[in-house]
Each structure stands twice: as structure tokens, then as C-alpha cells.
Amino acid sequence: MLEITPATKPAITFPLQLGEGPTWDDVRHCLWFVDITAPALHQLDPASGTITSHAMPSDIGSFGLTQGERLIVALRHGVHFYDPARRTLEILVHPEPDQPHGRLNDGKVGPDGAFYVGSMDERSPRQPVAALYRITPDGTVTKLRDGLLISNGLAWSPDGRTMYHADTRANLVSQCAFDPASGPVGAFKPFRPLANEDGVPDGATIDAQGYYWSAGVSAGCLNRIAPDGVIERRLHLPMKHPTMPCFGGADLATLYVTSLTRDGDQGTLIALDAGVRGLPGYRFKRV
């Protein structure tokens, strides 16, 4: 395993409480990211450094791009469409209205055009009541996994035939076969355990070579994991608690990483050259 400390630069000048979800928008040529508990959705124009902030009515765990102007956003209680021009929300569905002790967390649009979003239990100690859901454009909700603590780490292989998913507090990344037209095929199986000293798995992305990049939120690092589950390299970062990586820029060669505020470390967004390129994101089919 290669141990690397890359050169990084700050991408924003203000602190994040719980930075998450960086996503490159190849139509608007901007980077979207959230501050979950602010709660706010932020839009960064890398060319000018301009930030446009969108206040949310409740915690925003994640979001995804659509084939139209709107975004699909996972708020504390429900998945909505958000129109950034009009700053309006429209409810699509609430996947778990019967869970008063949790909220929606990591979510992404998959190769099939559905929105995948998980939940997390907020009690202490956490209970295994969280789940992972598939949400289609007509609002149909399918539960894919349950018995989770914190659903996280969604990503897909370059050919769209493998889906990755993590349970942060279980210290495990799993994978399952995936049909790019219709979604998961079969059960999830263990892919890579990640202990506290390795960096327990938080948000993730995939690069063009099919390597899975996992934010090691407990160890201040990014783990680049090969398709066979071996950690190929570890990037040591200037933040204690990175939460999610994302490839962006016109050539998808800039790696953006969010982090959270904890242990005297201020949450932020940084940019670096990882030496590899990413892949374009998917878009929710409904506009």
C-alpha cells in the first residue's frame, strides 16, 4: 500500500458543521455540496470561487442531479425535488415515516436513474434500525437493506454492474451485483472491512479505473481500494474527519473532499490532484 500526503488547497473560506455530498454538475459546471446540520445546500463555481447558498428547512443528508433543472434532495423527513432557481421544494416520498429517532443520510443517483438513499439512527448507543432504499421517479420505494446503523458509501463500478455500500458504524463496505437497467441483483456481500485506525467508511466515489475511494472519517485519510478489496493507496489529508470525496472539474481530474467539525478541527472543503480521473455522475430520470 502506498502512503501519500498530497498537496491540497482550500476550496471555500467558511467553516462547515457537517460537510458532505460533493457532486460535480457537468451541465452547470459547478460543484454542489451540503452542510447537513446548517442546514444548507451550497453551489461552488470553481472558476470564480463564487458560492451560492440555499437554506434548507431541515437537515439535508444528501441530494442528486436530475435530467432537468431541479435536484432531488433527501431532507430529514422525506425526499423532495428542489428548484434552485425558484428555491422551492416539492415532496416526492418519505421512505421511513415510522422512524422518529433517525434521519436520511448518504444518497446518490444510480446507473438505472433511481435515487438510492440510506438512513441512520441518531440515538446513543445507535440501534440497527437504519436501512437503504431505492426510489424511482414515480415515488415507489423499495427497501434494499435493513439492520444498519449508518448507511453510507454509495458508488458504482465504471460498467455499472457492481454497487458499493457501507455501514459506517459496522466498519464495513459491501458490494452486490447490479443491473444498470433495473437495479441491484442478489444480496450484498462483504467487500472490505475498515477498522478505526484504517479510517471507518464514510462517503465514497469511484474513479475511471474502477477503484473505490472511501473517506476514512476516523483517521483523516482517503483509502483507494482496488476491485479485489485490497487498499492500493492511502492519502493522508489535512483534516481529521473527511466525510466524502468527489471527482470534479471539466476533465474530472480534481478530487474534492468535504469534512466535519469535531475535536477542534474545522469542517471544510478541499481540492487536490489525485493523479487519476473520475466518472460523470448519473441523473434522476424525472425532471
DSSP per-residue letters across 238-277 = SSS-EEEEEEESTTS-EEEEEEB-BTTBPB-EEEEE-SS-
Show which residues are catalytic. Answer: 202
Instruction: Report the greatest alpha carbon distance in the chain.
Output: 48
Buried b / exposed e across 187-202, counting CB within 10 Å, b at 16+? ebeebbebeeebbbbb
Q: In the prediction, which pLDDT does 286 show? A: 66
Rg of the chain's alpha carbons, rounded to an integer? Answer: 17
Contact (CB, 8 A) for 272 and 42: no
Cα torsion at 46, 47, 48, 54 (round to 10°)? Answer: -40
* Per-domain boundaries in the chain: 2-284
pTM: 0.97
DSSP per-residue letters across 14-27 = S-BSBEEEEEEETT
| C-alpha to C-alpha distance for 95 and 78, rounded to whole angstroms | 7
Q: Which of 206, 41, 40, 76 is nearest to 32 (CA)?
A: 41
| C-alpha to C-alpha distance for 4 and 106, rounded to whole angstroms | 27
Q: In the prediction, which pLDDT does 101 show? A: 87
User: 38's torsion region: left (phi>0), alpha (psi -120 to 50) or beta?
Assistant: alpha
Contact (CB, 8 A) for 18 and 203: no
Contact (CB, 8 A) for 21 and 62: yes
- Given CA atoms 23, 188, 61, 81 in this order, what sign does their dihedral have? positive
pLDDT in tens, the chain (287 residues): 999 999 999 999 999 999 999 999 999 999 999 999 999 999 999 999 999 999 999 999 999 999 999 999 999 989 999 999 999 999 999 999 988 889 999 999 999 999 999 999 999 899 999 999 999 999 999 999 999 999 999 999 999 999 999 999 999 999 999 999 999 999 999 999 999 999 999 999 999 999 999 999 999 999 999 999 999 999 999 999 999 999 999 999 999 999 999 999 999 999 999 999 999 999 998 65
Residues near 231 by beta carbon (within 8 Å), at least 6 away in sequence: 1, 192, 198, 223, 224, 225
Q: In the prediction, which pLDDT does 209 show? A: 98
Reply yes or no on domain 2-284 having CATH 3.40.50.720: no
